[in-house]
Structure 1
């Protein structure tokens, strides 16, 4: 796995993980695939100029 994947740990407010997992489960996705899809879709939207980032952080900095 180390040869094919990067590992990145994220931090979020308590309860957020359960909310994300429930959403992914309802769509028949793993949390990992949902988060990856969310990142991909946001990056694509940002490239097209449709992203809106107000700089507000919802988690701790790296």
Structure 2
């Protein structure tokens, strides 16, 4: 994506280990649209910054109350 869209994607390898995506896009999507789809599937976060995008590790899930 960095080459195709001429953007910088910043991430820590250790935070995205064992995260995968297999699929295709039409080419009409923005980088943020693609990254949001990948992030939602893999429970990671993506944010836009001045130079590109930042991908961060696991999204904290709210704990369920015990019954």
TM-score range, shorter chain: under 0.3
TM-score (norm 2): 0.24
Larger fraction in strand: 2
